[in-house]
Structure 1
Amino acid sequence: MAAMLEFRTPGWNPYAVKYSPYYDSRIAVASAANYGIVGNGRLFCLGLGPQGVQIEKTFDTNDAQYDLAWSEINENQLLVACGDGSIKLYDMNINEFPVMNFHEHKRETFSVSWSPVTKDTFASSSWDGTIKIWSPARKESIKTLPVGNCTYSTSYCPSNPHIISAVSTDSHLRIFDLRTPVSAQYHLTTKIPVHVPPPVPPLQGPTPPAAPGEILTHDWNKYNHTVIATGGVDKVIRTFDIRNPSAGPESIMLGHDYAVRRLAWSPHASDILISASYDMTVRLWTDGSSMPAQQASPVKAGIQLGIMNRHTEFVTGVDWCLFGVGGWVATVGWDERLLLWDANRLLQGQA
């Protein structure tokens, strides 16, 4: 494979990219016309072959597409989160129309996530301040979790189907446990203020700003299922252990010049994550957990391992390939481009 593969989406500004969990040669991109401000959306289902990246199927929506998730039960199906509040389930073997349309959110649906454990539900989050849990087999949601403010990102714990996380405009990371009584908290078990400064600053570099800022993205560590990374408007990436919510961040990563739009833990190493930013860069990090302890501070200063700056607009999506040698990533940006490249080359300074 060449060092970097490219696919262009002329007229469409990508918002999210996901590798198929079934094939390393299949990728999907959710996009919007006019940067998602007004107009249609287009879902690109792409295949990697000897001729490079080629379109297998496209699906158009009446509104912008902000996120997507592959089905965990059908290799040909995938969800798209839309600006009109709907979530659409498409099948690559069925032309044009969605096989299911889920529409309860009152404002933009900004995030969608399929349960990786039981595989029989998915979650969505919206600017309307709610998370909804769905079954792909029924049109009505199973459960609604109120967050109360614009919720940019929701996700399932990788090992426990009852635990769901979310981040939102109020600078908090929330954990819901669906096994708890509904009560006044609606299954909310943990609420971590992301912006609270650590009790002892990390040894290296400046202390990050402590003013609350919108949290735009988060992801669960694939090897340590109590650790979550967050990123957002204040440009700082932080990791938290949800078993100890009052302890503040475990590690802090500083380097982006503008908001962190999307981040993802590596499926191949416990301390590696990648982030995409409005500063047009993609950065590879270690959270410091595999390094010797920094005695003077309980907070580790994560280290930037490499930077990819081939995008020429906001970078809005990033995903790791689950298969192969363990370094391939896909990134998309408002420059109407999907780039596929080997993060291992960043470590060698070649990207």
Structure 2
Amino acid sequence: MLEFRTAGFNPYSVKYSPFFDSRLAVSAGANFGLVGNGRLFILNLTAEGIVCEKFFETQDCLFDLTWSEQHENQLLTAGGDGSIKLFDIGVGEFPVAGWQEHGREVFSVHWNLVNKNTFLSSSWDGTVKIWAPERKESLVTLPVHSCVYSAEFSPHHPDIVTCVSRDSHLRVFDLRQKPSAQNHLTLAIPIHAPLKIPIPDNVTGGVQPSECLTHDWNKYRDSVLATAGVDGTIRTFDLRAPSGPVNVLPGHEYAVRRVSWSPHLSDTLLSASYDMSCRVWTDGSTQDNGGSGVGFGRELGRMDAHTEFAMGVDWCMFGAEGWCSTCAWDEKVLVWDVRDFMRR
């Protein structure tokens, strides 16, 4: 396990470069993001361990980041002051572009993996905005009317956008649809709806609404997503049957801050939680379930090396299928092999 200390700054998000297997970026804030500066770290994995290649200072906490899909040295940040900034590793100490339309904190940013000319942002002001890097104004604003904690483009289609929010709904927008009264909204799925099949006694399903903090698209099944939030339960959804969750994965003692599907295995995902653990799961989809398409997932293992809230997790797309990075408020960024923590 490799470790890097973000001394004086508490990380919120960590992301592998889509171009280099040895490069990471970490967004962080001083004083747990409550007050003070932010910092963007660019890290390299070397034979001597993790080395900081460069860092950028900002005036407010950086809650999230996303690498550009167009330029290997560029990445976006989501700021606590409502700003979005574009940094270039090879250019000076300041952002090369910036956007300021959101009325409150920007909590997530995501680059379009299919149409690489656009990116999005989501904010506590209750909106998701679509942007083009060369334009100063947003292309589209999607009203959610609830604090949006996480938004993503589908990795399978350039015009499908999803988000999760304080009101415990997973929303799906199709930018090909005419805006009309729905503003491109095609689905609003209640995250805490009960499962449609009998469930074990130890699985409650969390029927009471609770804030949803994170979600992620499955990289292999184009209608499947996972969500998680304050109640500590991960849920998977299939957009072909949007009435409620397909599976539930209980186990975390506190809120789940981030989930991420494996880029290598269709049934495997990682989670980072305020209970200071990072856990690997199977959603049960590869189990024999009598052809129903429904299978109860389970925890495969956990990593407990963090000593504060675990905030971020990301898989390495290159090489062996188990490498990942996690970050937490203990000022640590860890790189480790998930397979070393899975139960045999």
TM-score tier after normalising by the smaller chain length: over 0.9
Write the letter of the residue equivalent to 1:131. Answer: V
Of 3, 7, 30, 1:33 maps to 30
Rate the CA distance shift 1:107–1:14 in 2: closer, same or farther, 3 A. same
How many angstroms apart in 2 are the aligned matches of 1:233 and 1:138?
36
How many angstroms apart in 1 are the aligned matches of 2:308 and 2:101?
33
Map 1:14-53 onto structure 2 (within 5 A): 14-53=11-50
How many angstroms apart in 2 are the aligned matches of 1:164 and 1:209?
25
Rate the CA distance shift 1:204–1:320 in 2: closer, same or farther, 3 A. farther
Q: Does 1:96 align with 2:93?
A: yes
Q: Does 1:319 align with 2:282?
A: no
Structure 1 range deviating more: 286-295 or 24-33: 286-295
Map 1:166-205 onto structure 2 (within 5 A): 166-203=163-200, 205=202
Q: Does 1:338 align with 2:333?
A: yes
How many angstroms apart in 2 are the aligned matches of 1:326 and 1:287?
17
Counterpart secondary structure, 2:302: strand
Counterpart secondary structure, 2:32: helix
Aligned structure 1 segments of 4 or more residues deviating by more than 6 angstroms: none
CA contact (8 A) 2:131 2:140 kept: yes
Write the letter of the residue equivalent to 1:142. Answer: L
CA contact (8 A) 2:285 2:293 kept: no
How many angstroms apart in 2 are the aligned matches of 1:58 and 1:298?
46
TM-score for the superposition, normalised by structure 2? 0.98
How many angstroms apart in 2 are the aligned matches of 1:192 and 1:221?
17
Corresponding residue of 1:260? 256
CA contact (8 A) 1:17 1:330 kept: yes
How many angstroms apart in 2 are the aligned matches of 1:28 and 1:82?
15
CA contact (8 A) 2:203 2:248 kept: no
Q: Does 1:108 align with 2:113?
A: no
The alpha-carbon deviation at position 203 of structure 1 amounts to: 3.6
Write the letter of the residue equivalent to 2:64. Answer: D
Corresponding residue of 2:302? 307
Counterpart secondary structure, 2:107: strand
How many angstroms apart in 2 are the aligned matches of 1:249 and 1:195?
8
Corresponding residue of 1:249? 245
CA contact (8 A) 2:287 2:295 kept: no
Rate the CA distance shift 1:191–1:291 in 2: closer, same or farther, 3 A. same
How many angstroms apart in 2 are the aligned matches of 1:73 and 1:254?
38
The alpha-carbon deviation at position 179 of structure 1 amounts to: 0.3
Q: Which runs of 5+ in 2 are unaligned?
A: none
Aligned length: 344
Question: How well do the aligned residues superpose, as a CA RMSD in angstroms?
Answer: 1.2
How many angstroms apart in 2 are the aligned matches of 1:85 and 1:128?
9
Task: Give CA deviations for 1:318-341 in whole Å, capped at 9, x if unaligned.
Answer: 000000111100000000000000
Task: Give CA deviations for 1:273-309 in whole Å, capped at 9, x if unaligned.
Answer: 00000000000000000011068x8753211000100
How many angstroms apart in 2 are the aligned matches of 1:316 and 1:125?
18
The alpha-carbon deviation at position 348 of structure 1 amounts to: 4.6
Corresponding residue of 1:277? 273
Corresponding residue of 1:289? 285
Task: Give CA deviations for 1:230-269 in whole Å, capped at 9, x if unaligned.
Answer: 00001110000112212x2111101000001000000000
Q: Does 1:230 align with 2:235?
A: no
Q: Does 1:127 align with 2:124?
A: yes
Task: Give CA deviations for 1:49-83 in whole Å, capped at 9, x if unaligned.
Answer: 11110011101110000000000000000000000
Map 1:82-93 onto structure 2 (within 5 A): 82-93=79-90
How many angstroms apart in 1 are the aligned matches of 2:190 and 2:62?
29
Counterpart secondary structure, 2:133: coil
CA contact (8 A) 1:203 1:301 kept: no
Q: Does 1:117 align with 2:114?
A: yes
Q: Which runs of 5+ in 1 are unaligned?
A: none
CA contact (8 A) 2:195 2:205 kept: no
Write the letter of the residue equivalent to 2:259. Answer: L
